[in-house]
Amino acid sequence: MLKDWIRPLLRPLPQWSTIAAAPPSTIVTATLRWHGQEADVTADHTVAALKPLVIATSVDAGEQPVLEYRDSVSGSLLGRLQLQRCGSVATDQHTIALYQVSAGEHHCLAWPQRQWHAWLQNRSMLKNRQPQHLGMEPQAVQQLMIAYLCPRPVVLVSVSVPGHRNIFPMDLIGPLQRSGLYSLALRSTNISEPVMREARKVVLSSVPAAMKATVYKLSEHHKQPPSDWAALPFPLRPSHEYAIPAVAAALHIRELQIVHSERIGSHTFFLARVSANEKLADGEQLHHTAGFHQAYRRQRHAPFVEV
Ligand SMILES: Cc1cc2nc3c(=O)[nH]c(=O)nc-3n(C[C@H](O)[C@H](O)[C@H](O)COP(=O)(O)O)c2cc1C
C-alpha cells in the first residue's frame, strides 16, 4: 500500500507531453523584455539550435533580454529564459537575432516539487542519454522544456529531388513574424540536410494529432528514406506549386522557398519564404509541450488532450 503511494513521488514527470491542439496555439504567450521595452514574440521566436541552445527572433532585443512565457488566459508567469546575444543571421532584406540561453526557470510546479522533479529528471537523463538530445547537458534540456511552454506544432517535412526523397517529422520550426520568414532547425547530420541546402525547396504538412504513431515511426527510419512514395502507410497529394508529395490528410500544407541556410552548433538553421499556403481542414494538430506544463494544467483541471 505504502509502495503504491510512494512510487509516483519517486517517478520523474515526463519531459515531454504530446498533445492535440488547434493551430495556431495561443494558449501561451511569449514576450521579450529588455531595458524597459517589450515585444510580443509568440509568433516571432523559434529554436535555432539545440547544442548550444539558441533562440532566433526577428526582434532586436539588445544584449541580454528575458523571454517570458505566460498563460494567455490567466496571465500567470509559467517560465522565463535569460538570453545572451550570440550573433545574427542576415538575408538580403532582414536580420534575425540569435540568442543563446544562459539560464531559465519555470513556475509550473510549486517550490519543493519543482526542485524534486528537476532532480529526478536530471538523474534519469544522466543515466539514459537520449540520442535526440545530442549530448545536451540536463540543465540545457530543462531550458529547452521551458521554450516548449509555447506548444510546438509538429509537421512532416517532404523533400524531393531526382535521386533523393524523404519525409520526416520536425517541430523546431515556425514563423519569425515581423520578417515574414519561416525557420527550420535541422540536425546537420540529417541525410536530407545537403539536399535541402541545394534544392532550396521543402513542403511542410501540419499533421493531425491522430497521426502521432505514424509520425514517430518515420523518425525511427531516419537513415533510410522511403524507397518509393507509394510505400508510405498514408495517402499523399502533390503540393500546389512544387508538386512535392505531401500528406493528403494534412490540416495545412506550406511550401517553402529556402533563402538562407547556416550551421549553428548542432543544427543547420534554414530561413525560408512561404511560397504557397493551403489550409485544407480544421482540426487538432499534433503538438509538443513540456511535461511540467501538462502537470500545471492538470492541477488546474484543464489538462491538454494527450495523444
Ligand atoms: C515529433 C518529432 C519532431 C522532430 N523534430 C525535429 C526537428 O525539429 N529537427 C531535427 O533535426 N530533427 C527532428 N526530429 C528528428 C528528425 O525527424 C530526424 O529523425 C532527424 O533529423 C534525423 O537526423 P539524424 O539522422 O542526424 O539523427 C523530430 C522527430 C520527431 C519524432
Q: Is 176 in the pocket of ligand 1 (CB under 6 A)?
A: no
Q: Is 275 left (phi over 0), alpha (psi -120 to 50) or beta?
A: alpha
**Banded model confidence at residue 5, pLDDT cuts 50, 70, 90:** low
Q: Provide the CATH number for the domain around residue 120.
A: 2.30.110
Same domain (yes/no): 70, 124: yes
Residue with cell 534554414: 270
Beta strand spans in the chain (E):
16-21, 28-34, 37-40, 46-49, 54-57, 66-71, 77-90, 95-106, 152-153, 155-161, 164-170, 173-176, 181-187, 201-206, 236-238, 245-247, 252-264, 267-279, 285-290, 305-306
Indicate whether 298 belongs to any domain: no
**Which pLDDT tens digit goes with each residue over 71-109?**
999 999 999 999 999 999 999 899 999 999 999 999 999
> How far, in Å, CA of 176 to CA of 108, rounded?
26
Q: Rounded to the nearest whole angstrom, what is the distance from the C-alpha of residue 174 to the centroid of ligand 1?
A: 15
In a domain? residue 3: no
Same domain, 161 and 234: yes
Q: Give the CATH number of the domain where residue 182 resides.
A: 2.30.110.10
Domain hosting 21: range is 11-150
Cβ atoms of 141 and 15 within 8 Å: the answer is: yes
pLDDT at res. 10: 73
Judge whether 264 lies within some domain: yes
Mean pLDDT, residues 22-46 = 96
Q: Ligand 1: distance of its center to the CA of 156 in Å?
A: 10
* For residues 195-202, average pLDDT: 98
H/E run at residue 194: helix 193-199
Classify residue 121: in a domain, yes or no: yes
296 domain-assigned: no
pLDDT of residue 1: 59
Mean residue pLDDT across the chain: 94
State whether the beta carbon of 186 lies less than 6 angstroms from ligand 1: yes
pLDDT for residue 2 is more than 60: no
Quickly state the pLDDT bin for 128 (edges 50, 70, 90): confident
| Residue whose C-alpha is closest to residue 59's, from 97, 92, 90 | 97
Compute φ and ψ for 48, nearest 5 degrees.
-100, -25
129 and 58 share a domain?
yes
Q: Which residues contact 183 (CB under 8 A, 6 or more apart)?
A: 46, 48, 56, 96, 173, 174, 175, 176, 269, 270, 271, 272
**What average pLDDT does the segment 214-224 reach?**
89
Same domain, 221 and 146: no
State whether 115 and 171 are in the same domain. no
Residue 79 lies in a domain: yes
Percent of the chain with pLDDT over 70: 97
Q: 220 C-alpha vs ligand 1 centroid, how far in Å? A: 9
Q: How far is the CA of 198 from the centre of ligand 1 (A)?
A: 19
Is 216's C-beta closer than 6 angstroms to any atom of ligand 1? yes
Statement to judge: residues 131 and 170 lie in one domain: no
Q: Which pLDDT tens digit goes with each residue over 243-293?
A: 999 999 999 999 999 999 999 999 999 999 999 999 999 999 999 999 999
- Residues 48-71 have pLDDT tens digits of 999 999 999 999 999 999 999 999
Q: Do 141 and 161 fall into the same domain?
A: no
In the chain, the number of structural domains is 2
Tell the residue nearest (CA) to atom 14 of ligand 1.
170
Question: In terms of domains, do 86 and 97 share one?
Answer: yes
Q: 7 pLDDT band (50/70/90 cuts)?
A: low
Same domain? 68 vs 45: yes
Task: Tell whether 184 and 128 lie within a shared domain.
Answer: no
Is 143:104 a contact under the CB 8 Å cutoff?
A: yes
pLDDT band at 150 (very low <50, low <70, confident <90, very high): very high
Do 135 and 245 have their domain in common? no
Q: What is the DSSP letter of 303?
A: -
pLDDT of the residue at 101: 98
Residue nearest to atom 4 of ligand 1 (CA): 170
67 touches 31 (CB < 8 A): yes
Q: Residue 12 in 3-state DSSP? A: coil
